[in-house]
Amino acid sequence: MKLPKFIYRRGSLLAIITLLSATALSAANLVSNGDFESFKDGQPAQWTTSANTASFEYDTANKPEGTKGSLKVTCTAAGRGQGQIIQKVNVPQPGLYYVQGWINSPGATQGFLQIKLYEGGKEFKRIGIREPGKGWVKIGMEIDTLGATQIALLLRYNQAERNVGESLWFADVSLIPASERVRETPTIANLEAVPTFNSIGVYADISGDMSVSTQGHMEYRKKGESDWRSTLGVVWHGETKQMRGSLLNLAEDTEYEAKVWLTDDTIGLISEPQIVSCQTWSSNTPIGKTIYLDPGVSSAPLILSEKGTPDAWVLITRSSESSSTLDVKNEADYAIHIKDSAYVVVENLSIKGSIKDAVLIEESSDVRIRRCDISEWGQPGTLTEVSNPKWGRGPLYLDDDGNRINLQAGVRIQRGARRVVVEDCFIHAPRGRANNWSAGHPLGPTSIIMSMSDGNHVIRNNDLVGSENHRFNDTIEGAYNNKVNGGPYRDTDIQGNIMFFSNDDGIELDGGQMNVRMFNNWIQSSLCGISTAPTIYGPSYLFRNLIVLEGEERGHTNFAFKVGGNRTQEPGINYIFHNTVYSHSKALRGGNWGKGPTPIQTRNNLIALGDILYPQIAQGDFDYDMLRPGAMDPARDEWQQNGVEGVEEFRNRTAGDYRLSQGSPAFNRGVHLPMVNDGFSGSAPDLGAFPGNSDALFPVRNSGLSVLPMVAAIEMLEGEGPTKHSVVEVSAPTDLGKSWRAIPNSPWISVSPASGVCDGRPHQLTISFNESNKQIGPMEGAVTIRTDSGYNRTVFVKGNAHPESAQEFAVVAADLEHSGFQIVEKAGAPTASILKAPSARVEANASYIKLPVDIAEPGVYYLHALTYVPGPGAAGHDSLRLQIDDGEITYWPFRKASSGKWQWQIADIFKEEYPQKIELSKGKHMITIWGRESETEIAKFVLSQSPISPEDVSVPIARK
């Protein structure tokens, strides 16, 4: 046997001699009759079979080389689910075991090996082991028993009607302690590097037998440098037999080298390093041919099949005389269709009016869509009751043929597309809108879709802005979450984007996620932030993002990080570093694609508001993060050993300045992460997305266009008009164009002046309510500054439109008649005494608080409660019930359910209209607040004719 090259160290020679001599030894197999030679009553002894749907025989003719025979299984009758041959074995001691066997599974029989782990007779984990191939295929896997007392081995096969009469074979099944396993030494068979502008994905194909004791290592350097630099390393993925990892925060148009090697202490291995070189992309695209659109408006769709070269790209751009708009006026499915093209740039066009997608890219490579204004795509549809339960409860937006409207994009990147760049674009104002979750899963438009493509894309520095009345489904979406290439897939960077107004996720990374990187992005006004459910292969890197979840259109919030589960065979890992999260619900939750865990590692995150809910014990690695007290659920001793408990107020959250406040406990509390926070100042890295010396403007972009503050807060009073405006400072360098204009996303927003010049100087822009606005309540919008050369920067707008007169009743909860609730004096509470629900849910369910009111002005009212949800276990304390007079008692779930913070809740009836309008006639009424869950705390109630939260009211609340 030819051995790979080794670097020897003390003890390694002995380990190799031991390994070679072990080939002659037979390890103790815990499986009885694993060779199937023993039969009893027509079945393999010691195994339990699906005898009513299959026949069994010991076959000495069809067998793997080196074995005596095999178990032949013939499907004799169709059955439900998978057929099985099962054996349970007791686990002598916890630890690592190795399961191995042979399968010959022709046609659709789909044979595989399954492992189930039991503790106290109850199954808690199952693992499927499959290997593709024809004829006899050897399968094997190391299994961590995770405290199991029994392991079940199941030989599974498809017993559908089509397989009746078909056969498959199993042979030589064994289960041994991993320490007794004889292994072929692992080696790097091939090393590949795949670049983008600022990252490189590294892939090491491994031959030989890997173990959990085998470690991969990676260093890098610029070409020509002598010293190697540290990285985050590479991670093993058994199904694809690869070690994978990324180089991060690289310079453009620069050649780098990556060095990878393996070590394994159990066999004394330090392999000889292998080196691969790779050059990052350049923003420069040398133009060989230019196609100009006519000035003004063109209505014919562009069907492009242009082929440039790396040294001579094809440029499609606006007229040299004036701006050019491509408006297909609802006469074509796509305004631009790029197919069978290469090295093409579409630049600084206004694109609108398509029936489906504004820009479709397929079967093409090296395509760049940059500095384009994309709007008014897709079908508005008609809100219609639906009869198809798979779509949701409805109503949903349907087209003229009665089909649901979904997955219509500003830019669609699909089959056969690779190396697509969408940069500095303003994608906004779709014609349709997504429903919210009260009607079922949101369906509707999205700004960018990556679906079944070849990957290796970059989505950077775009302003992706929906609106209250035209929300996205997901801002960036994948079409097939459960497929490896159903989303960004591989070697894709999403960086520097502003992502506002979706009814589901800010972005779906779901799918393969092989070296997918999400960094330096701002997500706000969505249900969830970043979805990684599932991570089929991994790894993915989520770092230095700002995620602000204060609610989608109903005020409902879910997870800032929606992490997957174990529905796939071997889920990949998510690395979550240096993010700043402010979430009215969960900052992170696992198990969103299967009951088990996805491997996850968090470091240096600032969870200013929001809980981490990760009930899966295995695969979690949480440390060096800052959270509010009680926000780690469950609070395990091994998690957050170096974490920080504290409250961060930020420099000016109202203005969107999420830099650390003076004296913040998040300063100097992180850990060094190579490539992520190299060059940090201070004694250690600061936590969150914003180092202490960072600029207020975020995301970081190189264009130089500045618009501050990032959030504008405005108010108006019905009948009087605007009462509070916000002044924003705009600065656009001369190389970004001649002029800029301000584009509000909603008619209730007024901007003055509406335009300015690009001269590098600061210009003041006033944002206020439009005088003609008739809408009352809290509102959210945006204003985008766009230069004539196509550079963008968007300000988020929060507006409060107060009713002209609002009768209000404000009262301290402890002063009201109550039963079951206990009066408690609590430090830091907003009132001297509060009411706290009983600790037992059955007692909480019987408790109540009586709020009597005498209504002088009949009409619509809203009930607000100032509440505190204790944690960990916030999900068990975040609801009440509500009854008006003698009416129905309804469920009141809290829309703001983060633990550790006093928050105003507005009354809601679950899955019905939000906020809940309470119709009250003139005279006396009794509002009863019933308990529901344990330990919920209440400080105040306000009954008001305004839906605006009392914390956002700029004038004192009128007293009863």
- Quote the pLDDT of residue 698: 97
Q: Which residue has the tokens 């989303």?
A: 487
- 272 secondary structure, DSSP code: P
Write out 313-333 in H/E/C secondary structure: EEEEECCCCCCEEEECCCCCC
pLDDT over 70 percentage in the chain? 96
Q: b/e string for 402-441 if b means 16 or more Cβ within 10 A?
A: eebbbbbbbbbbbeebbbbbbbbbbbbbbbbbbbbbbbbb
- pLDDT band of residue 3 (cuts 50, 70, 90) is very low
Nearest to 276 by CA among 347, 171, 172, 204: 204
227 pLDDT above the threshold of 70? yes
Q: Residue 918 pairs with which residues in a beta bridge? A: 861
* Weakest mean pLDDT among 100-114, 269-283, 517-531: 100-114
82 vs 130: CA distance, rounded Å: 14
Q: Where are the alpha helices (DSSP H) in 435-533?
A: none
897 in Cβ contact with 808 (< 8 Å): no
Nearest to 535 by CA among 504, 561, 505, 565: 565
429 in Cβ contact with 468 (< 8 Å): no
442 vs 5: CA distance, rounded Å: 56
Question: In terms of C-beta distances under 8 Å and separation of at least 24 residues, what long-range contacts does 380-387 make, across chains too?
Answer: 380/431, 380/432, 380/433, 381/405, 381/432
Q: Which residue has the tokens 């309008």?
A: 917
- Quote the pLDDT of residue 937: 96
Q: Residue 256 pairs with which residues in a beta bridge? A: 222, 278
Nearest to 430 by CA among 458, 460, 409: 409
863 vs 810: CA distance, rounded Å: 10
Q: Which two tokens stand for residue 822?
A: 């206990």
Q: b/e string for 787-796 if b means 16 or more Cβ within 10 A?
A: bbbbbbbbbb
Q: Which two tokens stand for residue 614?
A: 């990760």
22 pLDDT above the threshold of 70? no
Sheet containing strand 726-731, strands side by side: 706-708, 726-731, 763-769, 749-752
Q: Which two tokens stand for residue 865?
A: 């409660």
233 vs 601: CA distance, rounded Å: 13
Q: What are phi and psi of 606, to 5 degrees?
A: -110, 105
Write out 134-159 in H/E/C secondary structure: CCEEEEEEEEECCCCCEEEEEEEEEC
The predicted-structure confidence for 43-60, as pLDDT tens digits, reads as follows: 999 999 977 899 999 999
Taking residue 629's Cβ as centre, other Cβ atoms within 10 Å add up to 14
502 three-state secondary structure: strand
Amino acid letter for position 151: I
Tally of CA atoms within 13 A in the half-sphere of 813 that contains its CB: 31
CA distance from start to end of the chain? 90
- 404 secondary structure, DSSP code: B
The predicted-structure confidence for 448-476, as pLDDT tens digits, reads as follows: 999 999 999 999 999 999 999 999 999 99
- Quote the pLDDT of residue 909: 76
Mean pLDDT taken over the chain: 92
Taking residue 320's Cβ as centre, other Cβ atoms within 10 Å add up to 9
695 vs 15: CA distance, rounded Å: 55
Give the CA angle between residues 125, 127, 128 to the nearest 5°.
150
- pLDDT band of residue 913 (cuts 50, 70, 90) is low
- Quote the pLDDT of residue 793: 98
Q: For 321-347, what is the mean pLDDT?
A: 95
Q: Distances in Å between the alpha carbon of 950 and those of 523, 581, 866, 898, 943?
A: 25, 24, 9, 18, 10
Nearest to 199 by CA among 280, 110, 310, 99: 280
617 pLDDT above the threshold of 90? no
955 pLDDT above the threshold of 60? no
Amino acid letter for position 651: R
736 pLDDT above the threshold of 90? yes
Nearest to 537 by CA among 482, 494, 589: 482
Nearest to 860 by CA among 918, 912, 804, 907: 918
846 in Cβ contact with 837 (< 8 Å): no
233 three-state secondary structure: coil
Positive or negative, the CA dihedral 219, 220, 221, 224 is: positive
How far is C-alpha 778 from the geometric centre of its chain's CA atoms?
27
Give the CA angle between residues 639, 644, 630 to the nearest 5°.
70
Please state whether beta strands 287-292 and 242-247 pair in parallel, antiparallel, or not at all (unpaired).
unpaired
- pLDDT band of residue 911 (cuts 50, 70, 90) is low
- Quote the pLDDT of residue 951: 85
The predicted-structure confidence for 286-323, as pLDDT tens digits, reads as follows: 999 999 999 999 999 999 999 999 999 999 999 877 88
Give the CA angle between residues 223, 225, 231 to the nearest 5°.
80
Amino acid letter for position 93: Q
351 pLDDT above the threshold of 50? yes
How far is C-alpha 1 from the geometric centre of its chain's CA atoms?
47
267 vs 182: CA distance, rounded Å: 11
Residue 487 burial by CB count (10 A; 0-12/13-18/19+): exposed, middle or buried?
Answer: buried
547 pLDDT above the threshold of 90? yes
Q: For 531-536, what is the mean pLDDT?
A: 95
The predicted-structure confidence for 190-207, as pLDDT tens digits, reads as follows: 999 999 999 999 999 999
498 vs 71: CA distance, rounded Å: 59
244 vs 233: CA distance, rounded Å: 8
Amino acid letter for position 53: T
- Quote the pLDDT of residue 23: 34
251 vs 248: CA distance, rounded Å: 9
Q: Which two tokens stand for residue 273?
A: 């390093």
* Weakest mean pLDDT among 318-332, 423-437, 694-708: 318-332
31 in Cβ contact with 87 (< 8 Å): yes
166 vs 164: CA distance, rounded Å: 6
Q: For 825-846, what is the mean pLDDT?
A: 95
Nearest to 155 by CA among 133, 130, 178, 132: 130
Q: Distances in Å between the alpha carbon of 290 and those of 197, 374, 790?
A: 24, 21, 18
Taking residue 237's Cβ as centre, other Cβ atoms within 10 Å add up to 21
Q: For 257-261, what is the mean pLDDT?
A: 98
Amino acid letter for position 247: L
Helix (H) or strand (E) holding 561: strand 559-563
Sheet containing strand 235-237, strands side by side: 187-195, 200-207, 242-247, 235-237
729 vs 752: CA distance, rounded Å: 12
